[in-house]
């Protein structure tokens, strides 16, 4: 499936953001470029490389031109313990601004790497808007990676443009998102806070959008048949090139070894745990088990964990639950619950990280309860599985609209309130609502059968998209051929003024200010950014 290569390989640098949900799909994209003959270097820090290094090592043994370049995270300079260098469910809230500070310190070093590694083009996460200026100085294309769906980005753009949420009287009243291919209704409470009312993050998103317009184009982990109307709509309203080359997890991880290697490096304990859940799952009838997971960035309060546990136990269906325990809260309850459901062979709890691709493709899985993170949505479609939707933060509520209202492959649990990723929020979904949604998904009725039929059809389309002649395959061919034929020295060469350099660095300050609890801390961060700009 590799594209015919020219004798001189294109050289690329991929720069993922320091968050698991952003790292995994962008690394899969990097692996696809290497599969098609592009020389790839992934730049990241040591701890974050453990998420994907097994996959890179496998690809290297296959002769693919891909490697990881480690930059040392400046933990001591920002007052962090060694190894704390990413945004995830276990990142202490008070350490978040220090990680951003470390990223700011690393920026000049990464910019020099783009030149030292002789990159012909760079692919960087949306949270690195400064990289469009770095690429312009080198006269090479910058391609932006979006970790969301085309519908989510289209809906956010519409809310920014038309502000329909300001035309309703209360936070719970619904409004129609204008100028979209479908009639989609939401409430103010379901919008991200930066869209409800302007804040510093709103300004950051404006900087990101401006950097996208100055980039060569954008990449999405999506495929045309999944959200074709929004694929076309997004390119029209944003006015830039964009390529959907998904589903990247399906394309880049076709062997069992790839699926097992994906994610954090496994120690002896994790290996034994995998044998446990796999043996349990293989003992269950096809389509009988519900998979429950809320992604790598979420923790629930004890009160919500109790409701989920009772709903699962009372549902009458077997389940695998990927759960994260809150320190000092609910430990005894969850331990007793785990013991009870294991003895009855009704349930299996996985603590922490789970090998999701391997679980979803197991024939015993019949559906899932999901937070509507985009990676999980795409992976469930790949596996042909309908889902109970439980959006939490980021663009999750927009993704729910695609799953439930546009595609008709999901049942909403009834979540009504958006929250930040590192907060519990005030909403607790009751066990009765959870149980009701599970019954609709797994009950075997007409609605369930119709959803499964639609999901199976989309699964077939996902597999076809990555085959020669498929929509994503053709997008990959088109993009690489464009990059091969581009006149790099003259591409995007602009006069970089001091003000534009300041803007590309200043976006970090907005995030810092959101995370800092005192003006003194924020002032320190401002000094760091300003001194960095003098390098």
Q: Return the active site residues.
A: 22, 125
Asked if 330 and 391 touch (Cβ cutoff 8 Å), the reply is no
One-character DSSP codes across 44-81: EEHHHHTTTHHHHHHHHHTT--EEEEEE---HHHHT--
CA distance 124 to 146: 9
Provide the Cα torsion 451, 455, 458, 459; round to 10°: -170
CA distance 77 to 98: 9
Dihedral sign, Cα of residue 432, residue 434, residue 436, residue 439:
negative
What ranges in 117-149 are assigned the alpha helix state H?
131-138
Contacts of 4 (CB under 8 A, 6+ apart): none
Give the angle 75-262-291 at the CA atoms, nearest 5°. Answer: 110
Please list the residues that pair with 145 across neighbouring strands.
Answer: 125, 219
> Packing angle between helix 200-213 and helix 498-515, nearest 10 degrees?
140
**DSSP code per residue over 227-244:** SHHHHHHHHHHH-S-EEE
Beta strand extents in 217-351 (DSSP E only): 217-220, 242-244, 289-293, 318-323, 347-351
C-beta separation of 123 from 29 below 8 A: yes
Concatenated DSSP letters of 451-500: HHHHHHHHHHHHHHHTSTTSHHHHHHHHHHHHHHHS-GGGTT-----HHH
Omega before residue 247 within 30° of 0, cis: yes
């Amino acid at each position: 499936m590799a594209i015919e290569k020219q004798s001189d390989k294109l050289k690329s640098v991929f720069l993922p953001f320091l968050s698991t949900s952003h790292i995994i799909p962008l690394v899969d994209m990097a692996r696809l470029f290497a599969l098609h003959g592009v020389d790839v270097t992934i730049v990241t820090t040591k701890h974050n490389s453990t998420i994907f290094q097994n996959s890179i090592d496998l690809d290297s043994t296959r002769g693919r031109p891909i490697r990881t370049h480690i930059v040392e995270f400046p933990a001591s300079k920002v007052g962090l313990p060694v190894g704390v260098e990413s945004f995830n469910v276990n990142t202490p809230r008070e350490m978040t601004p220090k990680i951003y500070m470390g990223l700011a310190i690393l920026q000049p070093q990464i910019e020099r790497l783009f030149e030292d590694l002789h990159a012909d083009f760079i692919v960087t996460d949306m949270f690195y808007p400064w990289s469009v200026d770095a690429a312009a100085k080198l006269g090479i294309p910058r391609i932006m990676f979006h970790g969301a769906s085309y519908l989510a980005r289209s809906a956010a753009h519409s809310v920014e443009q038309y502000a329909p949420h300001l035309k309703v009287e209360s936070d719970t009243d619904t409004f129609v998102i204008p100028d979209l291919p479908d009639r989609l209704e939401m409430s103010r409470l379901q919008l991200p806070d930066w869209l409800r009312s302007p804040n510093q993050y709103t300004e950051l998103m404006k900087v990101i959008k401006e950097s996208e317009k100055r980039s060569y184009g954008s990449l999405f982990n999506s495929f045309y048949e999944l959200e074709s109307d929004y694929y076309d709509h997004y390119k029209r309203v944003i006015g830039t090139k964009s390529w959907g080359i998904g589903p990247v997890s399906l394309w880049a991880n076709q062997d069992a070894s790839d699926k097992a290697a994906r994610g954090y490096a496994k120690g002896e304990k994790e290996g034994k745990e995998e044998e446990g859940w796999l043996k349990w799952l293989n003992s269950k009838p096809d389509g009988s088990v519900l998979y429950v997971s809320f992604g790598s960035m979420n923790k629930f309060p004890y009160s919500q964990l109790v409701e989920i546990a009772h709903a699962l136990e009372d549902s009458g269906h077997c389940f695998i639950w990927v759960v994260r325990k809150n320190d000092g809260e609910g430990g005894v309850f969850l331990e007793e619950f785990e013991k009870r459901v294991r003895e009855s062979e009704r349930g299996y709890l996985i603590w922490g990280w789970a090998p999701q691709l391997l679980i979803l493709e197991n024939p015993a899985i019949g559906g899932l309860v999901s937070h509507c993170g985009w990676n999980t949505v795409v992976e469930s479609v790949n596996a042909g599985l309908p889902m109970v939707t439980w959006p939490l933060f980021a663009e999750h509520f927009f993704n729910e609209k695609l799953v439930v209202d546009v595609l008709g492959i999901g049942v909403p649990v009834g979540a009504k309130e958006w929250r930040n990723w590192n907060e519990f929020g005030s909403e607790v979904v009751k066990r009765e609502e959870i149980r009701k949604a599970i019954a609709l998904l797994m009950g075997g009725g007409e609605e369930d059968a119709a959803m499964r039929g639609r999901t199976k059809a989309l699964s077939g389309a996902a597999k076809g998209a990555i085959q020669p002649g498929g929509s994503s395959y053709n997008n990959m061919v088109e993009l690489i051929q464009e990059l091969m034929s581009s006149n790099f020295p003259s591409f995007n060469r602009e006069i970089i003024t001091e003000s534009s350099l300041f803007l590309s660095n200043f976006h970090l300050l907005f995030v810092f200010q959101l995370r800092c609890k005192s003006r003194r801390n924020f002032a320190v961060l401002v000094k760091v950014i300003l001194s960095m700009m003098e390098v």
